[in-house]
Every structure is written in structure tokens, then in C-alpha cells.
Structure 1
Amino acid sequence: VLAAGRSTRMGGPNKLLAEIAGRPLVRHAAEAALGAGLAAVLVVTGHQEAAVRAALAGLPVRFVHNADFAEGLSTSLRSGIAALGEDIDGAVVLLGDMPRISSGLVGRLAAAFAPAEGRHIVVPVAGGRRGNPVLWGRRFFAELLKVSGDQGGRAVLAGAPEVVAEVPAETDDVHLDLDTPEALAAAGGRPAP
């Protein structure tokens, strides 16, 4: 779960601590990952680390601190991938500001992952467009560790169309972008207390 960003487009408060249905956005994301039965859930922290940790109190997650979080999303992606054990075959990269991703969707991504059958990357699709989260096979970890700037693995994904499996998403929530106060309000959320 990538949860290190500064929320600069939100205009001040840390959007990961904003609430929908009485729970912080980052807690929704972590609970979706935990509910999918993955081997482990890592949360990459950075900006306001103590507050993000507090928002996840009581959840069986492992924290990884990204000291370079101010340099953009790629640093969090690299921190998370670098912290994975050698026994991990794939990783679901879930953005901490996507509160409506379900455990069921994360589980379906994991179920569709089959490197032996050529499915090394698994993405959800809604309305004909790919969204998040994305499951990456170990084959791509080295490439993800080279991504730089304020971007994720989009370029890596575009360069490997032959190994991508698409999973239908029930809703358009795989595209939900809560980067502004207006978007948060439209989703029924409220800023961090």
C-alpha cells in the first residue's frame, strides 16, 4: 500500500487521513489488501508517517519508511518492491487513496496471476480502461526499481503487453482519483480531522 505522498493537489491536509464512512482512506486500502488473503501487506510511509501509522493501528501490516517520499511516487514504489522477500512471486501495488477497492477485486487479481501461463501482470478494467491496483510479477521487480520521478509503473506496463492479463472490475472505482477537496467531497468524504 503506497501511503507516503504529500497530497500536494489536495491543498494542505494529508488526503490519506481524510475519512469516508468514518475511516481514513489509507485504512480502507490496507483493509482491502488484508481481506484478500495476501501473504503479507506492506505499507510504505513517508509524509506524516506517525499519523499514517496511527490510522492503521491494530492492523497486521508491516511498515516500510520511504525517506525520499518528496521526490515522487516512484520512490514509494521502489521502497515497497525493495522490501519484499525473495520468496515473494508477485506484488499488488495498491494506492493508499483508493478507498473503494474491494478485497474481492484484489483477490481476483491474485487469482488471475499465473506466470507459468504468461500472466505476469494483472490489471483491473472498467469501462474499457485499465485502472488500479496492479499486480506485478517478480519478473518486473528489477524494472520497477528503475522507475523515477512522480510516476508508477505505467511505462513498464506499456512495454509488456504480451504478459498482461485484464480482470473485469465491478465498478469504476478502479479509476477513482481523490486528489482534490472537490473530488473527496463528491465521494462522500471529509478532510482529515
Structure 2
Amino acid sequence: MRTDGLLLAAGAGRRMGQPKALVRDPDGTSWLLRAVQTLQDGGCSHVAVVLGAAVEEPTELLDGTGASVIVATDWADGMSASLRAGLHDLDDAADAVVVTLVDLPDVSAAVVRRVLGGSGMSLSGVGDVSGLGGSSGVGDTNPVGVATLRRAAYQGTPGHPVVLGRHHWQPVIDSAVGDRGARDYLAQHDVELIECGDLATGRDVDSPH
């Protein structure tokens, strides 16, 4: 089974004063490059990056990383536009995809590995937004496949990354609207939540820290 990574980095980053794909930490670390490396080190076979508000400069940054670029021409319509563009253009060889956001600086490769492995505290439930629907135990593993629907949770709160098996791609494309991304689809289906609160906060940030 092949799992690719999909990094959503198309936003204008108005509160940051520049497109999200161009933001750097005070020490100069590129959020874009760090997120790509996180997905690669976490076990993704290939990483595709969705760009929109800025394209040329981020594409140059990505040169040599092995990541491919997908341009969401309707990026201003919200996160869902980026998600739809990304899922539509993913490599046909992939069986599943790990979706994450560029503005989650503390989400590490360890988080991606845990979510892909399905190990740690697994909490599941249909539409269980708290993530406290029930535990399948600690240390279990559940390989990713075309029907996988899984996401990280932080202290019980669902977050990114989200793993979507290929069977879910078209339904997510059809249902994603505005800034909600796959939220409505996930709320209506049985999602396996993998607790990662010991590894990261999973919080998005509005400015370099």
C-alpha cells in the first residue's frame, strides 16, 4: 500500500502579512519546507503541495525536495478549494493520503508516523467531535488502506493530520465547501482518532513564533 502526503499551503495568511507558504520562523526556518520534511520523514511515499496565494516563490523553495506542486486557482474560496484541487490531482498510484496544513509548526514526523501506524491510544466514534468515543487500546497497529479514515487527536480534540483512503477522496471532493474542508464528511463517518497530545499541541498559529 502506498500513502502520499498532501500539504495545504495555498492561504493568503492575511494575519501573518504574507502568504502562508512564505512564512518563516524568526530563525529563518521555512514553514513550507519543514512541513514537507515532516511528511517525508513521517513515511509518505511522495508529497504534493497545494499552492494558491503565492506560487512562483514557494515553487522555487521546493526545488530539490522531491515534492510536487498543485495550484488551486480558486484558493480564495477557502480551504476546501485547496483540498479539492489536491485530492483531484493526486497520483493515481496512491492508496491513501495524509492531509496536513502548513501552519501547524509543532506537528512532527513522529505524529505522522503514529497516525499512519494507527498505534497509541485509538479513539473512535461516528461524528465524535470530542474524540472520546471509546478506546481500542494502546500499542495496537492498523495498517492504512483504501478505506482508511483516520486523524490525529490532541487531548481528545480532533486535528491534523488526517488520513484519507482512496475510497473517500471523491466523496470529500463532492462535499467540501468553504473553510470547512473535510470536516462535515468526517463528522458523518466512523473516524479512527489517534491520540497524539503527548507529541504536539496540533494548534495552528497566526504568526511566526
TM-score normalised according to structure 1 size: 0.83
1:125 maps to which of 135, 146, 153: 153
- After superposition, the Cα gap between the structure-2 partners of 1:137 and 1:9, relative to the gap in structure 1 and judged at 3 Å, is same
Displaced runs of 4 or more, over 6 A: none
SS in structure 1 at match of 2:153: strand
1:26 aligns with 32
Distance 1:122 1:13, change over 3 A: same
| Amino acid across the alignment from 2:24 | E
What's the counterpart of residue 151 of structure 1? 180
Q: Which amino acid aligns with 1:151?
A: R
TM alignment of 1:137-148, pairs within 5 A: 137-146=165-174, 147-148=176-177
The aligned amino acid for 2:151 is V
Given that 2:10 and 2:20 are in contact with CA atoms closer than 8 Å, whether structure 1 keeps it comes out as: no
User: In 2, Cα distance between the equivalents of 1:122 and 1:46?
Assistant: 26
Partner of 1:71: 77
- CA positional deviation for 1:115: 6.1
- Work out which structure has the larger RCO, using CA pairs closer than 8 Å and 6 or more positions apart in sequence: 1
- Structure 2 counterpart of 1:99, from 95, 99, 105: 105
Q: Among residues 87, 110, 115, which one is paired with 1:109 in the alignment?
A: 115
**What is the CA distance between 1:87 and its match in structure 2?**
2.5
Alignment CA distance shift 1:119-1:139 (3 Å) = closer
Separation (CA, whole Å) in 1 of partners of 2:153 and 2:88: 27
Between the two proteins, the alignment pairs up a number of residues equal to 177
Q: Deviations over 1:56-80 (max 9, x none)?
A: 3321101111111111111110111
Q: Give the % identical residues.
A: 29
Structure 1: which amino acid aligns with 2:201?
D
Distance 1:37 1:89 in 2: 14
Q: Specify the code of the residue in structure 2 equivalent to 1:76.
A: S
CA shift digits 1:137-188 (9 cap, x unpaired): 1121111112122221111110002xx22212124421x1212x4xx3xxxx
2-structure distance, mates of 1:25, 1:70: 20
The one-character-per-residue Cα deviations of 1:2-52 (angstroms, maximum 9, x if unpaired) are: 111111333x32233222243111111111011122121000111111122
**Alpha-carbon spacing, 1:43–1:13, altered in 2? closer, same or farther (3 Å):** same
Higher strand fraction: Structure 1 or Structure 2?
Answer: 2
Letter in 2 for 1:15: K
Q: CA RMSD in A?
A: 2.0
Structure 1 gaps of 5+ residues are none
AA aligned opposite 1:27: L
What is the CA–CA distance in structure 2 between the aligned matches of 1:131 and 1:56, rounded to whole Å? Answer: 25
Looking at structure 2, the residues matched to 39 and 171 of structure 1 have their Cα atoms a distance apart, in angstroms, of: 22
User: Are positions 1:177 and 2:204 aligned together?
Assistant: yes
1:16 alignment partner AA: A
- Quick check: 1:15 aligned with 2:45? no
Query: 2:111 touches 2:199 (CA, 8 Å); kept in 1?
Result: no
For 1:167, the aligned partner's letter is I
